[in-house]
Amino acid sequence: MKKENAICFKKGMQHGIPISLGYLAVSFTLGIAAKNAGMTAFQATLTSMLVNASAGQFAGFNLVAAQASYLEMALMILVTNARYLLMSCALSQKLSPDTKFYHRLLIGFDVTDEIFGVSMAYPGKLNPFYTYGVIVVALPGWALGTCFGVLCGNVLPANVVSALSVGLYGMFLAIIIPPARKNKIIACLIVISMLASFLFAKLPVLSSISSGMRIIILTVVISGIAAVLFPVSEEDKEPTT
């Protein structure tokens, strides 16, 4: 490894520490969700090592619990992780054009909200070794937390599990609410999405649609209409970090 790359790697590891600690706490509730879906600690930890996506895994575990079809699973992951498509597009502009192909393959393995955020904040063009440093510290936190969640989820008293199970929702709110404060369209979309989701869950006929399909249908329809009615200009675009 070149000396410059080693320095970048070390810096990435430092920046990975707070991310890893946050992951540890949040993925604990993910482990509880996996356990509720009937998965073993090994299966849940393996999923966390390979996927590292809160919303995607959470939705995925729900589908495992519901014994959904494989196609439904693929569509669900596609929709819940669609934001990474946008992030990877942005990240591709951050890489020097002559970045080697295998670096692109490796960075693509772990584009998350947080790792994307720190990578984009890297001064100038991104050195892939910086991102690798973040990943080697952050990803084990995510995997360990999930593992603990499965193993300790049923040792904990019911009220503690009840409290921890809102952790992920809290995290989702922390992702969507701050941009809504600056952008009225996003704020309206969030309210409309929650109302529509509530109606789909409660109304007769509509409530027979599985929660997985409900998320896919509402996401595609509401985002699609918003994209046509309120196309985003480059100025009011906020990074989703």
Partner 1 sequence: MEHNVYIYIFIMAGVSYLIRVLPLTLIRKEIKNRTIRSFLFYVPYVTLAVMTFPAILESTNSVWSGLLALIIGIVLAWCGKSLFQVAVFSCLAVFILELFL
Q: Assign residue 11 a region: left if phi > 0, alpha if psi is -120 to 50, beta otherwise?
A: alpha
Q: How far is the CB of 56 from partner 1 (least distance, A)?
A: 6
Q: What share of the chain is helix, strand, coil (3-state, %, to 5)?
A: 80, 0, 20
Cα(90)–Cα(105) distance, integer angstroms: 15
Cα(118)–Cα(80) distance, integer angstroms: 21
CB neighbour list of residue 66: distance below 8 Å, 6 or more residues apart? 210, 211, 212
Q: How far is the CB of 212 from partner 1 (least distance, A)?
A: 10
Which CB sits closer to partner 1, 8 or 55? 55
Nearest to 75 by CA among 213, 230, 238: 213
Q: How far is the CB of 218 from partner 1 (least distance, A)?
A: 5
Which CB sits closer to partner 1, 134 or 189? 189
Give the DSSP letter of residue 122: S
Residue positions counted in the chain: 241
Token reading at 128: 């892939």
Which CB sits closer to partner 1, 8 or 64? 64
Q: How far is the CB of 155 from partner 1 (least distance, A)?
A: 16
Helices (H), 100-183: 101-107, 113-121, 128-152, 158-164, 167-182
Which CB sits closer to partner 1, 6 or 188? 188
Token reading at 57: 């895994």
Which CB sits closer to partner 1, 158 or 205? 158
Which CB sits closer to partner 1, 47 or 127? 47
Which CB sits closer to partner 1, 8 or 216? 216
Within a 10 A sphere around the Cβ of 117, how many other Cβ atoms? Answer: 16
Q: How far is the CB of 123 from partner 1 (least distance, A)?
A: 20
Q: How far is the CB of 10 from partner 1 (least distance, A)?
A: 24
Q: How far is the CB of 154 from partner 1 (least distance, A)?
A: 15
Nearest to 166 by CA among 25, 24, 21: 25
